[in-house]
Every structure is written in C-alpha cells, then in structure tokens.
Amino acid sequence: MFAIVEVAGQQFKVQKDQNIFVHRLEEKEGQKIVLEKVLLVEDKGTALVGTPVVEGYQVKATVLAHVKGDKILVFKKKRRKGYQVLNGHRQAFTEIHIDTIEKGKATKKETEKKETATAKPASTTKKTASKTKETTKPAAKKTTAKAKTGEAGSTAKTTKPKASAAKKTTATSTKSTKTKAAAKPKATAAKTGTKKTVVKKDTGSKKEEK
C-alpha cells in the first residue's frame, strides 16, 4: 500500500515506515503531524484518485530532525569583464517518518460540503419556479402582439378601398384632361381657316380695284 502526498508544495510517494526529506517545516522535533492532502491511494491493486484530494484518507507522520542538505556551489562570471563570484548554499530540510496510511474521519470541510450539497435542491426548485414564471410571461406578450397585428391588418383592409377610390378619381381626371387636350387643336384649326379666308378676300378685292 502506498500513497502520493503533497507536503510543503511538493509531492512524494509514501509507504509505511519510510523516511523522507521535505522542505523545512515549522513543527518541532518529535512532534506528530497529519498530512491530509492525499492525492492518490493504492491498496491491493486498486487505486483511488482524488479530485483533487481523496476524501477520508490521511497520512500520519512524526518529525525526526531538521537538517541541511549538501553544499551547492553557485559560480557567476562575466567574460572580458573581470567579474566572477563563488557562493555556497545549503538547503534546509526536515526528516519525516511515515507512521500509517489510514482512512480517517471526515473533516469539517467535507461535512460542510455534504451539508451544502443537501441544501442545494431547495434552491434549484426556486430557480425552476422562477423559470416557469419567466416562460409564462412571453406567451402573454405574444398574444398582445398578435392582437396588435390583427388590429393593424383590419385597419389596412379598411384603408385599401379608399386608395382604390383615389386611383379611380385620378383616372377620371386624366381622361378629362386628355379630352380637353384633344379638343384644343380643332379650335386652332378653325381660327387659322378664318384668317386665310379673310386674306384671300382682301387680295381679291385689291386685284379687282386695280
């Protein structure tokens, strides 16, 4: 049986009676700690993967000692500048002994999550009731819109005959103007004929006198 645990921002594969080195912790030497961020648990060929944490499982451990890692040399240099620096660094670690990987009691957060999950259906019913109200409103709007369109259609039907009457009056007026225009040339022709006859008579009278 093993588990994958997150400790101080790092993930470790952990088994019972195993010693691991993690980043420096605040707990004192000999103090027992509980690691609740269990990401995966494998037991007898069956694996439980958390989302992101496996609920109910925890890893118990004891702090053995606070130690320092091996010295690391950090060398810096800039060529053709005469600059070079050599530093040494030792990382601080905490040695932990894994006691047990067990299924513990539900934490306060898990109980709160369960309570909220049970309380959610009431809110969903309220939401569904509000949705039904919203769906009923547009139907009334559609009916009013239909009534408006019906009124508009009736008014349009009543106004159409008036337009046809206006067209008839315009047609009659155009016919009367055409008849007047056709009658005018006859009058002009008659006037021109009288003038010509008068001129002829005058010329004839003049010729006779000579």
Per-residue pLDDT tens over the stretch 145-178 = 555 555 555 544 444 545 455 455 555 556 555 5
72 belongs to a structural domain: yes
154 belongs to a structural domain: no
Q: What is the pLDDT of residues 116-141, one digit of tens each?
A: 776 655 555 556 566 665 555 555 55
The pLDDT value recorded for residue 192 is 47
Q: What is the pLDDT of residues 50-64, one digit of tens each?
A: 888 988 899 999 999
20 belongs to a structural domain: yes
Average pLDDT for residues 62-89, to the nearest whole number?
Answer: 96
The pLDDT value recorded for residue 136 is 55
147 belongs to a structural domain: no
The pLDDT value recorded for residue 45 is 86
The span from the CA of 26 to the CA of 38, in Å, is 20
Q: Model confidence at 44, in pLDDT bands (50, 70, 90)?
A: confident
- Please give the sequence-ordered ranges of beta strands (E in DSSP) within the chain, or none if there are none: 2-7, 10-15, 19-23, 32-35, 38-43, 46-49, 57-68, 72-78, 83-89, 92-103
137 belongs to a structural domain: no
**Residue 21: HSE in the Cβ half-sphere, 13 Å Cα cutoff:** 8
Q: Answer whether 23's CB lies under 8 Å from 92's CB.
A: yes
Average pLDDT for residues 2-27, to the nearest whole number?
Answer: 93
189 belongs to a structural domain: no
Residue 58's contacts (CB-CB under 8 Å, 6 or more residues apart) are 34, 35, 36, 38, 102, 103, 104
Task: Identify the domain containing residue 69 by its residue range.
Answer: 2-107
- Torsion, Cα 14 18 23 27, to 10 degrees, reads 110
The pLDDT value recorded for residue 193 is 47
Count of domains forming the chain: 1
The span from the CA of 171 to the CA of 161, in Å, is 15
63 belongs to a structural domain: yes
Instruction: Classify the phi-psi angles of 9: left when phi > 0, otherwise alpha if psi is within -120 to 50, otherwise beta.
Output: left
